[in-house]
Amino acid sequence: MHAWPASEVPALPGKGRDLRIHDTATGGRITLDPGPVARIYVCGITPYDATHMGHAATYNAFDLVQRVWLDTKRLVHYVQNVTDVDDPLLERAVRDGQDWTELAERETALFREDMTALRMLPPKHYIGAVEAIPGIVPLVERLRDAGAAYELDGDVYFSVETDPHFGGVSHLDAEAMRLLSAERGGDPERPGKKNPLDPMLWMAAREGEPSWDGASLGPGRPGWHIECVAIALDHLGMGFDVQGGGSDLAFPHHEMGASHAQVLTGEHPFAQAYVHAGMVALDGEKMSKSRGNLVFVSKLRHDGVDPAAIRLALLSHHYRSDWEWTDQVLADAVERLGRWRSAVSRPDGLPAEALVEEVREALADDLDAPAALAAVDRWAERQNAEGGTDEGAPGLVSRTVDALLGVAL
C-alpha cells in the first residue's frame, strides 16, 4: 500500500536528546538506545470508519517519538499496518450493504488525508493485512509444526503456554486477561481450546466471508495478532525499538504478538519497549467506532478548523493520560495557535536558543508535550509583550515547533 506524503522536518542547531520513555512491559521509564536507524512499529487502523480524535492522539504520540529520534540525527524505520480484513470491518460492510474492500479503501484514503493534514510522518512501509497473507501462512505453519499451534474444527489456535514469557507485556492476572480477551476480539468461551486465552492464528473459510489460499492450513483468513507480527518481523526483525499503540492494545494484541514472535524465533524480546497511549473519551466514555461517540478529524477539517489547531489540541495532553475531548480543548488550541503565530510574525525577537533546549528536554522526558507547550507559551507571551532584537529568533521558534511538535506556524 502507499502511505502519505512526508512534510519536511527542519534540522535544528545543537544536539538532540535520547528518549526516555515509559515501557509497559517493565512498568517503568527506560532510556532507549536505538542504533543509527531506530525501528518502530505502530499498529494501524481498522478502516471501517473515519479517523477520530482518539486515533489521532495515539498517532501523535508516536510521531513525537520519531521527531525526537530525528533530532538526534538518526534515521527512522517506521512500519504501520492497516487491518483491512477483520470481523468489525466485515460486519460494518454487511450492515451498510457495501463491498468490504471498497469500505476499507475509502476509509484508508481518508486516514491518509487526515494524517497528511496533521503533519504526521508517514511510515516507510504501510502494509495491509490482505497483502501480508502470503507471509502469514508460513508463520502459522511453522508454529503448528513446532507444536505451538493446534487445530480446532479447521481453525488454528496459538498455544499461549508455549511462550515462557507470556504475560510479560501486560502483567495481568488470568481473570483480567479472560475478561479483556472476550471484550477485544478473543473467544475465551469457545469449547475445546487448550487454554481459554489462546488466540486464533488462522480462521477457516466461513460461508459468505472472504478467504485466501492457506496452503496446508486450508482456505481462510489470518487472526489479528499474527498479522502485525508477520509485518513487523518482515520489515523490522526481532528486538526493534518501539511497539506502539493505544493502551487498549496492551492486552491481548501486543501480549499475543510478542508471544507469537518469541516462540517463532526463540528470541526475546519482540520489542525493546511497549509504549501505550491513553484513551480519549467523549461524554465520559472511550471514543470508539463501536460506541459511535466520535469526533472525526475530517469533520473538523471540513468545518474549517486549522489542522495545526487540532494538532495543538492533541499535544496539550500527556500521551499517557486518559482525557476527554471537549469543544473547550479545541477552543484553547485555536487561541494558543493565534498567540504563537503572532509571536513569530516578526523577523526579530527574544533569544530562543534556551527554548529549543527546553522543548527538547520536555519531549525526551517521556514525551512531555504539555511541558513543551508551556515553554513555548512563556516565550510567546514575552515576545508578544516585549519583543526583542535577536535576529532570526522567531524563525528558530517556528522551525523548533515544526521539527519537534509537527505544528506549522
Nearer to Zn ion, 83 or 383 (CB): 83
Nearer to ligand 5CA, 74 or 225 (CB): 225
Nearer to Zn ion, 90 or 226 (CB): 226
Closest CA to 275 of 366, 356, 184: 366
CB of 166 to ligand 5CA, least distance (A): 19
Nearer to Zn ion, 115 or 372 (CB): 115
Nearer to Zn ion, 262 or 400 (CB): 262
CB of 231 to Zn ion, least distance (A): 8
Residues of span 383-402 touching Zn ion by CB under 5 A? none
Nearer to ligand 5CA, 280 or 315 (CB): 280
Q: How many CA atoms lie within 13 A of 194 on its CB side?
A: 15
CB of 248 to ligand 5CA, least distance (A): 5
User: For Zn ion, which residue has the nearest CB?
Assistant: 43
Residues that bind ligand 5CA (CB under 6 A): 43-46, 54-55, 57-58, 81, 83, 228, 245-246, 248-249, 277, 279-280, 286-288
Instruction: For residue 23, list its beta bridge partners.
Output: 28
Which segment (85-93, 161-169, 214-222, 223-231) binds Zn ion by CB under 5 A?
223-231
148 contacts which partner out of Zn ion, ligand 5CA, none, CB within 5 to 8 A by kind?
A: none
CB of 344 to Zn ion, least distance (A): 38
Residues of span 13-52 touching Zn ion by CB under 5 A? 43
CB of 145 to ligand 5CA, least distance (A): 26
**Cell, residue 374:** 508551556
CB of 400 to Zn ion, least distance (A): 32
Nearer to ligand 5CA, 217 or 294 (CB): 294
54 contacts which partner out of Zn ion, ligand 5CA, none, CB within 5 to 8 A by kind?
A: ligand 5CA
Find the binder of Zn ion among 228, 330, 344, 405 (CB under 5 A). 228
End-to-end CA distance of the chain: 31
Nearer to ligand 5CA, 72 or 247 (CB): 247
246 contacts which partner out of ligand 5CA, Zn ion, none, CB within 5 to 8 A by kind?
A: ligand 5CA
248 contacts which partner out of ligand 5CA, Zn ion, none, CB within 5 to 8 A by kind?
A: ligand 5CA
CB of 129 to ligand 5CA, least distance (A): 8
Q: Phi, psi at residue 243, to the nearest 5°?
A: -105, 120
CA 66/CA 81 separation, integer angstroms: 17
Nearer to ligand 5CA, 330 or 344 (CB): 330
55 contacts which partner out of ligand 5CA, Zn ion, none, CB within 5 to 8 A by kind?
A: ligand 5CA
CB of 130 to ligand 5CA, least distance (A): 13
CA 347/CA 48 separation, integer angstroms: 46
CB of 50 to ligand 5CA, least distance (A): 10
122 contacts which partner out of Zn ion, ligand 5CA, none, CB within 5 to 8 A by kind?
A: none
231 contacts which partner out of ligand 5CA, Zn ion, none, CB within 5 to 8 A by kind?
A: none
**What would the 3-class secondary structure string for the chain be?**
CCCCCCCCCCCCCCCCCCCEEEECCCCEEEECCCCCEEEEEECCCCCCCCCEHHHHHHHHHHHHHHHHHHHCCCEEEEEEEECCCCHHHHHHHHHCCCCHHHHHHHHHHHHHHHHHHCCCCCCCEEEEHHHHHHHHHHHHHHHHHCCCEEEECCEEEECHHHCCCCCCCCCCCHHHHHHHHHHCCCCCCCCCCCCCCCCEEEEECCCCCCCECCHHHCCEEECHHHHHHHHHHHHCCCCEEEEEEEHHHHHHHHHHHHHHHHHHHCCCCCEEEEEEECCEEECCEECCCCCCCCCEHHHHHHCCCCHHHHHHHHHCCCCCCCEECCHHHHHHHHHHHHHHHHHCCCCEECCCHHHHHHHHHHHHECCCHHHHHHHHHHHHHHHHHCCCCEECHHHHHHHHHHHHHCCCC
Q: Which residues bind Zn ion (CB under 5 A)?
A: 43, 228
